[in-house]
Amino acid sequence: MSQANPFIPPGREYGAVDTENRLRALEGFDLVQCRAALAVPHLQKAVEKKLLSRIRQLEKLSATEYPCGITVKLKYHSDDECIGWAHRGDNGALLSAYGRTPLDPDAWIIVSEQEGSL
């Protein structure tokens, strides 16, 4: 969700303006929303401090959740406990994380994916 003021939910004309509600709202923000929230006028200092902390936390999570520039987290279609890692090839195909060999797209389900490489 990319919008000018992430404290205002989609479809609404108003949103959180007091410190307590903004602090509660930003707990669910992603990195893009946190950065957009920093640009909101008249932002309370406590909210700004928490946003900066959340940004650091999300950046650190990105670096550890997707190690070594891997951009796709997978799970095997018949085993929820079997997790895999992959890259996207130039043509968009899934490639194994370590050998960069093509993966069967019918055998793996994408759990999450990041844009580009880290």
User: What is the pTM (predicted TM-score) of this model?
Assistant: 0.53
Residue bearing tokens 């000018």:
4
Distance between CA atoms of 83 and 89, rounded to whole angstroms? 19
User: Is the residue at 85 inside a domain?
Assistant: yes
Q: Are residues 74 and 101 in the same domain?
A: yes
Q: Please report, for residues 44, 95, 117, the alpha-carbon distance to residue 88 in angstroms, rounded to integers and kept in the order given.
A: 41, 6, 10
Dihedral angle of Cα 5, 8, 12, 17, to the nearest 10 degrees: -120
Q: Are residues 61 and 95 in the same domain?
A: no
What's the structural domain count of the chain? 2
Q: Are residues 59 and 73 in the same domain?
A: no
Q: Are residues 44 and 76 in the same domain?
A: no
Q: Are residues 35 and 24 in the same domain?
A: yes
Q: Are residues 24 and 46 in the same domain?
A: yes
The tens digit of pLDDT for each residue in 57-71 reads 888 776 555 555 567
The tens digit of pLDDT for each residue in 10-27 reads 788 888 789 999 999 888
Q: Are residues 60 and 74 in the same domain?
A: no
- Give the structural domain span for 53: 19-65
